[in-house]
């Protein structure tokens, strides 16, 4: 990624977590900025997702199950 697409930011982090992260940074090429970019990208992608898209179908299924349960209980 070229420098014009990057911004320098100052952040405050928990020192204990930073020390733990540094021991695991080999997974991210040894750079804290790569780790931060990965988490930032994941955060942005998760915010773009529509988690309530299946909610309507789920509510309809729940109502159908409730109707079936009532019908079974009435037939006892």
- Confidence check: pLDDT of 1 > 60: no
Is 52 strand, coil or helix? coil
Give the model's confidence band at 65: pLDDT under 50 very low, under 70 low, under 90 confident, else very high. Answer: very high
Mean pLDDT, the chain, integer: 82
pTM higher than 0.85? no
18-36 tens-digit pLDDT: 888 877 777 667 778 887 8
Full residue range of the structural domain in which residue 53 is found: 3-74
Nearest to 35 by CA among 23, 45, 47: 23
Nearest to 34 by CA among 49, 24, 19: 24
Domain count, the chain: 1
Other beta carbons within 10 angstroms of residue 33's beta carbon come to: 13
The reported pLDDT for the residue numbered 34 is 80
């Amino acid at each position: 990624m070229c420098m014009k697409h990057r911004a320098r930011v100052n952040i405050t982090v928990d020192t204990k977590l930073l020390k733990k992260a540094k021991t695991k940074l080999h997974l991210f090429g040894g750079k804290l900025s790569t780790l931060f970019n990965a988490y930032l990208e994941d955060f942005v992608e998760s915010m773009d997702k529509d988690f309530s898209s299946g909610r309507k179908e789920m509510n309809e299924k729940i109502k159908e199950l409730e109707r079936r349960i009532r019908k079974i209980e009435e037939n006892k």
